[in-house]
Amino acid sequence: MITGIKENLQKIKNSIPENVTLVAVSKTKPIADIQEAYEAGQRVFGENKIQEMVNKYDNLPKDIKWHMIGHLQRNKVKYMAHFVDLIHGVDSFKTLKEINKQAKKHGRVINCLLQARIAKEDTKFGLLFSDIEEILSSEELSELGHINIVGLMGMATFTNNQQQLQEEFSSLANFFKKNQEKYSNLNTLSMGMSGDYQLAIENGSNMVRIGSSIFGVRNYIV
């Protein structure tokens, strides 16, 4: 069977600058597809369900960096705390505390991104900019020694309106830059998916999360 995963990956890699990290979003896709991407050199994969990511971690090479990109269920953080490389979708202080607690059990420091709400749709999760500022500046955060907030993540509105996408990406990028001046740990801005990653990169993204353009359309809605 010709899947084209390798060719798709190559095409995307050629179209993004070197400083941009490509997260291959493999949610719903079988182990064999991930293995194929791995053999083509891809090492960073993103999943949106903790249990599915754990199953894949158990069955694939251990030098893969696993990113959790989905909405987090706090009671499941413990299942991925021993291996997760980066958690993109942190949207509450409570969740940060839970990640810290579970990371501590494994003697790890887990890198996290705070998810900002940039979409106009109210179906998207995420924190208001003011909530993010509050978290970053809080006394309590400095007491959490087992997490490291390394950046921000955002999902734009599901639309073809380039003007709107542009506005959403640039507002997050500006907010990110402003906070980078204050917090030296911030180095990652995760924004851009299959349909909008070029625009996201033009607006300052340095991490894109791409699924369907690599692995093809997903078999079921997630």
Ligand X SMILES: *Cc1c(COP(=O)(O)O)cnc(C)c1O
Phi, psi torsion values for 75, nearest 5 degrees:
-70, -5
Q: Which residues between 22 and 41 bind ligand X (CB under 6 A)? A: 25, 27
Query: What angle do the packed helices 5-15 and 31-39 form, to 10 degrees?
Result: 50
Label residue 126 left, alpha or beta by phi (over 0 means left) and psi (-120 to 50 means alpha). left
Of 151 and 211, nearer to ligand X (C-beta) is 211
Shortest spacing between CB 60 and ligand X, in angstroms: 19
- 207 in contact with ligand X (CB under 6 A): no
Confirm or reject binding of residue 156 to ligand X (CB under 6 A): no
Residue type, 183: Y
E strands, 18-159, are 21-25, 44-47, 65-68, 86-90, 110-116, 147-154
DSSP class of residue 143? G
Q: Which of 77, 193, 199, 201 binds ligand X (CB under 6 A)?
A: 193
Tell me the window of 2-10, 143-151, 158-166, 192-200 that interacts with ligand X (CB under 6 A): 192-200
Pairing of strands 21-25, 44-47: parallel
The residue of the chain with the least Cβ separation from ligand X equals 211
Among 68, 96, 116, 210, binds ligand X (CB under 6 A): 210
| Least distance CB 46 / ligand X (angstroms) | 7
Least distance to ligand X from the beta carbon of 181, Å?
27
**Residue range at the interface with ligand X (CB under 6 A); choices 3-11, 54-62, 96-104, 204-212:** 204-212
Contact status: 211 vs ligand X (CB under 6 A): yes
Containing H/E element for 188? strand 188-191
Site for ligand X, residues 97 to 136, rule: CB under 6 A: none
Site for ligand X in 37-66 (CB under 6 A): 48
What are the phi and psi torsion angles at 180 (to 5°)? -60, -30
Contact between 211 and 33 (Cβ < 8 Å): no
Residues in contact with ligand X by the rule CB under 6 A: 25, 27, 48, 69-70, 155, 193-195, 209-213
